[in-house]
Structure 1
């Protein structure tokens, strides 16, 4: 094997790229992350909510029993390493829309797989704050991760470790040979593309079934101190500070750009008016494009024709819990040959490439 300057070139310093770099450094690998702070990133916009029970049917999040404990330890370790606050544990209050929904949800809580994520007393009353005439369900072991701080502190840490470079990445500068990867007079054993939405334009992996979706969130100021609950009913309301919340999110597919729109703001505001019972003022809006996939599972693995070209992408809306767990799995796959979960391995789509 050729001697290289670095073991890995990681393209992208979002949630995926940062998580993977931290795991590889922990394994003693020499890593260089290429980031471009001027580029838009869904990781910078995302609310960072982790929720073990999702959807109108109250379904347990895929692999929650594995993902959540690992993510919790990952971020807690980083809080100590970075000397900052990243994780905010906070229950999620789901107001019942009707007596029928109340009965259906309460019946589901008899399932031990669900009940471990439900508050035992079930007496949360937020009727002064949100429309909840039928009561609601309190989901525990939930909360949010401050992703902008995670990215900033992660970049600082990588910089101090000589593992980060701020530079616009151009595919024309990359040369892939059988023995090594070359980029700007540097050599690497492997390249891992962690480009989020921009991965759709990467010719190595453009055959994968990306289905990116645009989302918008609002920042909302209130006159009253907010209860320390995330509210989830059609939209989420996340208290980011004592009197400021983030509200989201929309889903749209055209156009896929990073500009907030009046229509999306109006859509969120209409839902917020029906839910929130205290005065508020919209102070700003932000939009991002989620790197989603047709089957709603991440994209990990090695290119079918290039053993040193890899991808870590497609984290969608649940990236804060998916990224740490699958960063470890990908690192162990690349270094030790451990099998990837078949539901995330891009081998499931190889037929699209060879077609």
Structure 2
């Protein structure tokens, strides 16, 4: 046992991506003693993700699931952490959606009559078009959107928990867990509960590999775009996310095969093929990264307690919308653990218990 760690914690949280970090903060703010363990030598999809939150997604302009609940909660959560950690984490920015054709223009504008959609539309005037974007058919501006600087969030949170003897950089193996009565022991430290927040790596965990994970590989480019104007995100099949100055992130691809962390030439070509028709100005590629999104079969998060081990839980399956789903459901999971409130049936892993007992 590391010398500065205590012998007892209420919760061991395994994995310090967006899921583990969000849950750690909620349990910590509830007065619980938390130990975060994370193996920094392993790849992390949270550190690769662009962190964009967008209330209207897809070609059909569909309102994001639970947008009216999860977006305000996430914004309050990140704003609070910015103050606590003295760091810039939340970047509010509108999303410009160029129309690909007159038909798409008419289709999208007709959708704005839906009150559930119009709430998130700021404008459809030609003046809102970013100067570096080519779009002869105009476009629309989506609001209540932006991005979260995940590397800053994760790094600053790690520093905080480390300073409070609540973080350990260490490999973790499920075989090292010792269930003892109402507690569980790991590396001679006793916990009330262990919550696994391992993202894609959960597929290798013997306690939860029965859950229907459907991980998706994604790749993004880092580019320098000349004469870029403003902080507006552009979304037309891919996203163009201005980060600092002329530096932008371009993404993302989706692949259900060859699930590894290696970047590929085919992904670069796919992204460039979609980028070139959008931009009016030159660009140069400066980097490329890959991650594996921890998605589930029904595209809903996976929260709950193991059917045979009440000391063991999981928080996973956040998929492509982790920056908005994680805070909201971390709060729900924390209330379930601390106050014994019920989990939503839509996310409770009980919906898959039949897979475990069959």
Query: Is 1:160 equivalent to 2:169 in the alignment?
Result: no
Give the TM-score normalised by the residue count of structure 2. Answer: 0.96
Q: Deviations over 1:172-200 (max 9, x none)?
A: 22112332111111110000000000001
Superposition deviation, residue 276 in structure 1: 1.2
> Displaced runs of 4+ in structure 1, greater than 2 A?
120-128
* Separation of aligned partners in 2, 1:242 and 1:347: 47
Q: Deviations over 1:73-97 (max 9, x none)?
A: 0000000000010011100011111
Verify the 8 A CA contact 2:131 2:228 in the aligned structure 1: no
* Separation of aligned partners in 2, 1:297 and 1:127: 34
Superposition deviation, residue 306 in structure 1: 1.0
Verify the 8 A CA contact 2:215 2:296 in the aligned structure 1: yes
Superposition deviation, residue 120 in structure 1: 4.1
Partner of 1:92: 95
Partner of 1:177: 180
Q: Deviations over 1:29-85 (max 9, x none)?
A: 011110111110000000000000011110110000000110000000000000010
Query: Is 1:5 equivalent to 2:3 in the alignment?
Result: no
Verify the 8 A CA contact 1:124 1:137 in the aligned structure 2: no
Superposition deviation, residue 98 in structure 1: 0.9
Alignment of structure 1 residues 255-334 onto 2, 5 Å: 255-334=258-337
Superposition deviation, residue 121 in structure 1: 5.8
Query: Is 1:31 equivalent to 2:34 in the alignment?
Result: yes
Give the TM-score normalised by the residue count of structure 1. Answer: 0.97
Superposition deviation, residue 283 in structure 1: 0.6
Partner of 2:70: 67
* Separation of aligned partners in 2, 1:210 and 1:72: 28
Alignment RMSD = 1.1
Q: What SS does structure 1 have at the residue aligned with 2:345?
A: coil
Superposition deviation, residue 126 in structure 1: 2.4
Q: What SS does structure 1 have at the residue aligned with 2:211?
A: coil
* Separation of aligned partners in 2, 1:221 and 1:108: 34
* Separation of aligned partners in 1, 2:142 and 2:181: 50
Verify the 8 A CA contact 2:210 2:356 in the aligned structure 1: yes
Partner of 2:223: 220
Structure 1 residues 155-164 or 284-293, which shifts more? Answer: 155-164
Partner of 1:144: 147
Verify the 8 A CA contact 1:194 1:313 in the aligned structure 2: yes
Unaligned runs of 5+ in 1: none
Q: What SS does structure 1 have at the residue aligned with 2:207?
A: coil
Q: What SS does structure 2 have at the residue aligned with 1:198?
A: helix
